């Protein structure tokens, strides 16, 4: 099951594969269910902005022959307002990994098992750019101003972060491989969670090696300056063996950072 919260923090939706989308009023102490809409397909890593909820589902159960339908729902009434098949520029079937929608609602970023990222115009579903990615892209995130996009890629040789600039008619690579830095080491089979600060000036990354057993997993909490790619600071993390290695991070409106996962909880003020 997935949970998405509206950027204004008034409403939330829960999405359950092959079952439903439910809308909740979360302004009171006890969430109130407002609406429930049935869905008859698997849901994968949905995302939302102020206006829309975006999901992707596969039409086939055979991975090598799969193609994806991109579905866009309205926050107001959960009505399906748009649907389109997704392919990359080579017209290959698009097997989905990760998804993110910009806050201005103009761009949808998708990651494919074809080792590429596709950037889609929401208005006409045309693909404005395809960029090479990693073997696995574990995360995509836009900043609040829809200007920057960060992607967490994994190769067997190690994980790394890319940052792109989002223009009306194009996507440009700003930094291709921030994690290829000897100071930080080289984690293979890595997983990263990311968030931009409220003004987009910094990118916070929690990167974790998943080679261990859960008792010896390691990672780093890292702050980058977005435009320059400069490493501001990095904090070592280590699992206590009692939690899953997959981290999660949340940045508050005043740029306070909460990190959960790896058996640790950290609260850091980003200056």
CB 200 within 8 A of CB 226: yes
CB 270 within 8 A of CB 202: yes
* Beta strand segments in 27-112, E: 32-38, 47-48, 52-58, 68-74, 80-86, 96-101, 107-112
Q: Are 68 and 149 members of one domain?
A: no
Domain boundary among 75, 107, 133: 133
Q: What is the C-alpha separation between 133 and 137, in angstroms, rounded?
A: 7
Residue 175 has a CB neighbour count (10 Å cut-off) of 20
* CATH number (domain holding residue 121): 2.130.10.10
pLDDT in tens, 151-184: 988 776 667 889 999 998 899 999 988 765 445 4
Reply yes or no on whether the pLDDT at 13 is more than 60.
Answer: yes
Average pLDDT over the chain reads: 78
Q: Are 139 and 129 members of one domain?
A: no
Least confident of 69-73, 86-90, 150-154, 171-175: 86-90
Q: What is the C-alpha separation between 188 and 71, in angstroms, rounded?
A: 33
Q: Is 22 or 42 the better-scoring residue by pLDDT?
A: 22
Least confident of 7-21, 80-94, 150-164, 167-181: 80-94
Q: Are 154 and 198 members of one domain?
A: yes
Q: Are 183 and 200 members of one domain?
A: yes
Q: Are 79 and 4 members of one domain?
A: yes
Q: How confident is the model at residue 254 (pLDDT cuts 50, 70, 90)?
A: confident
Q: What's the total number of domains in the chain?
A: 2
Reply yes or no on whether the pLDDT at 192 is more than 80.
Answer: no
Q: Are 22 and 141 members of one domain?
A: no
Which pLDDT belongs to residue 93?
47
Q: Are 56 and 140 members of one domain?
A: no
Question: What is the domain range of residue 116?
Answer: 1-133
Using alpha carbons, select from 235, 239, 234, 231 the residue that is nearest to residue 263.
239
Q: How confident is the model at residue 38 (pLDDT cuts 50, 70, 90)?
A: very high
Which pLDDT belongs to residue 63?
47
């Amino acid at each position: 099951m997935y949970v998405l919260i509206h950027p204004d923090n008034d409403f939330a939706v829960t999405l359950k594969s092959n079952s439903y989308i439910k809308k909740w009023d979360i302004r009171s102490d006890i969430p109130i269910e407002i609406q429930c809409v049935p869905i008859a397909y698997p849901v994968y890593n949905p995302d939302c902005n102020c206006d829309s909820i975006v999901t992707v589902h596969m039409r086939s159960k055979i991975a090598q022959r799969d193609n994806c339908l991109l579905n866009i729902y309205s926050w107001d009434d959960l009505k399906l307002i748009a649907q389109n098949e997704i392919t990359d520029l080579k017209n290959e079937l698009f097997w989905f990994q990760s998804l993110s929608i910009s806050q201005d609602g103009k761009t949808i970023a998708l990651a494919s098992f074809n080792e590429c990222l596709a950037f889609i115009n929401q208005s006409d579903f045309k693909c404005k750019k395809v960029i090479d990615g990693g073997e696995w892209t574990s995360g995509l995130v836009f900043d609040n101003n829809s200007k920057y996009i960060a992607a967490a890629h994994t190769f067997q040789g190690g994980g790394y972060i890319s940052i792109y600039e989002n223009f009306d008619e194009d996507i440009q690579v700003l930094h291709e491989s921030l994690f290829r830095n000897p100071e930080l080491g080289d984690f293979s089979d890595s997983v990263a969670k990311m968030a931009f600060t409220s003004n987009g000036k910094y990118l916070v990354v929690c990167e974790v090696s998943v080679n261990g057993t859960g008792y010896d997993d390691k990672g780093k909490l890292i702050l980058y300056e977005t435009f320059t790619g400069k490493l501001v600071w990095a904090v070592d993390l280590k699992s206590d063996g009692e939690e899953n290695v997959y981290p999660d991070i949340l940045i508050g409106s005043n740029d306070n950072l909460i990190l959960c996962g790896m058996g640790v909880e950290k609260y850091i003020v980003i200056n």
